[in-house]
Amino acid sequence: MPDPNDSAPAMPSGVDTEKPSAARMYDWYLGGTQNWAVDREFGKKVVQLWPHVREVAKQNRRFLRRAVTAALDAGIRQFVDLGSGVPTVGNVHEIVREHLPAGERATVVYVDYEPVAVAHATLILEQDEATDWATIVQEDLRAPKKIFDHAETKRLIDLDQPVCLLLIAVLHFVGGDDRPEELLERYRRRVAPGSWLALTHIACEEADEEDQAAVRRFADAYRDTSNPLWVRERDELAPWFGDWSLVEPGITHLPDWRPDYELTVAESTARPFAWCGVARKPGD
Ligand SMILES: C[S@@+](CC[C@H](N)C(=O)[O-])C[C@H]1O[C@@H](n2cnc3c(N)ncnc32)[C@H](O)[C@@H]1O
């Protein structure tokens, strides 16, 4: 049987297949098919540099699920998923549909600037007959005003009601020149009291020296892609939550945030390579 990863998906307009893209490589790490030879070749190279990357990607998706279900349990019914990626297993609208009791409704706005992510999300939302309550906006998350002013965001998100902002495995693509602290402040300011902010970010300061060097080499390799990548420490991320209150258990490694499964020994070796946290906007 042909390996599905050896085939190229249909090409949406605007796709650059000359350079590997973070969205399509991440899809490949997770075993998806929305990637091209250039992404797979580069992906294989970086997996050699840093073999933990695929496990970290899986733990990241599991965290996303736990954060979304926690937000739903807390009564939040609106989600803006910034840098949502090529849809893969356990997308936010699927988690919402699975978790909400029948008859209850929540809305989801995906945002990504990668054409493959947008084309694939559009297709999945149509197939799932979810377009009444979920959509995708093709936009750069460094332009929050454009995102909030977009007709689709306005159709589905009421900014007077709490929103869960998801910035999952994407802020490491925002460099210092783009002032992530100010960017996050602009997002936090626009949303209503009671809103949540959930984020994850690649890290390595608690890994051993050899692994730290591997992560640095991995990050350096991304400099040759459409999405250069920055590794940051916990103390650099903490201010991004501003004056919002971190919900329990605070900023942790991915598998330590409200775990609902036990890590195998092999899985636990990937623990130090990302931070995650969820915070709530005061008031309401
Ligand atoms: C590693 S994937 C993460 C996907 C998903 N959030 C997850 O964690 O499973 C990062 C995604 O962020 C997108 N991305 C990176 N920088 C972005 C930006 N400035 N604006 C919008 N999307 C961006 C990429 O195209 C890619 O789809």
pLDDT at 31: 87
| Structure confidence at residue 11 (pLDDT) | 62
Q: pLDDT tens across 149-159, in order?
A: 999 999 999 99
- Contact present, 230 and 172 (Cβ < 8 Å): yes
For 159, counting Cβ atoms within 10 Å of its Cβ (0-12 exposed, 13-18 middle, 19+ buried), the class is middle
- Give the strand pairing for 107-112 and 134-138: parallel
Predicted pLDDT of residue 5: 43
Q: How confident is the model at residue 3 (pLDDT cuts 50, 70, 90)?
A: very low
For residue 164 and ligand 1, the question of a CB distance below 6 A is answered with no
The pLDDT, as a whole number, for residue 261 is 87
pLDDT higher than threshold 60 for residue 130: yes
Q: How many Å lie between the centroid of ligand 1 and the Cα of residue 141?
A: 9
Q: What average pLDDT score do residues 256-279 get?
A: 94
- Give the per-residue pLDDT at 88: 82
Q: Is the pLDDT of residue 249 over 50?
A: yes
pLDDT at position 255: 96
- What is the residue range of 109's domain? 17-280
Maximum CA extent, the chain: 57
In a domain, 12, yes or no: no
In the reported structure, the alpha carbon of residue 284 is separated from the centroid of ligand 1 by a whole-number distance in angstroms of 31
Residue 10 to residues 13, 109, 111, 165, Cα–Cα distance (Å): 10, 24, 21, 30
Instruction: Dump the DSSP string for 169-218.
Output: S-GGGS-GGG-HHHHHHHHHHHSPTT-EEEEEEE--TTS-HHHHHHHHHH
CB distance 26 to ligand 1 below 6 Å = yes
Q: Is the CB of 85 under 6 A from ligand 1?
A: yes
User: Tell me, what's the pLDDT at 1?
Assistant: 33
Question: What is the residue type of 267?
Answer: E
Site to probe by mutation for ligand 1, drawn from 39, 89, 110, 112 as the one with most ligand atoms within 8 Å of Cβ, is 112
Instruction: Provide the pLDDT for residue 4.
Output: 41
Task: Return the pLDDT at 204.
Answer: 97
Cβ 50 under 6 angstroms from ligand 1: no
Comparing 1-15, 41-55, 161-175, the range with the smallest average pLDDT is 1-15
Average pLDDT over all residues of the chain: 92
271 pLDDT more than 50: yes
pLDDT tens, residue by residue, 49-72: 999 999 999 999 999 999 999 999
* In a domain? residue 153: yes
Asked if pLDDT for residue 8 goes beyond 60, the answer is: no
pLDDT at 15: 66
* Number of domains observed in the structure of the chain: 1
2 or 196: whose pLDDT is higher?
A: 196
Q: What is the gyration radius of the CA atoms in the chain, in angstroms?
A: 18
H or E stretch covering 79: strand 78-82
Average pLDDT of span 109-133: 93
The answer to whether residue 225 sits within a structural domain is yes
Residue nearest to atom 20 of ligand 1 (CA): 140
Q: Residue 203 in contact with residue 233, Cβ under 8 Å?
A: yes
pLDDT at 10: 60
pLDDT band of residue 192 (cuts 50, 70, 90) is very high
In a domain, 3, yes or no: no
> What is the per-residue pLDDT for 89?
77
CB 32 less than 6 A from any atom of ligand 1: no
The string of pLDDT tens digits covering residues 207-243 is: 999 999 999 999 998 887 888 999 999 999 999 999 9
Query: Is 2 a member of any domain?
Result: no
Percentage of the chain modeled with pLDDT above 70: 94
The answer as to whether 1 is a domain residue is no
**What pLDDT does 196 receive?**
98
For residue 266, what is the domain's CATH number? 3.40.50.150
pLDDT reported for residue 24: 84
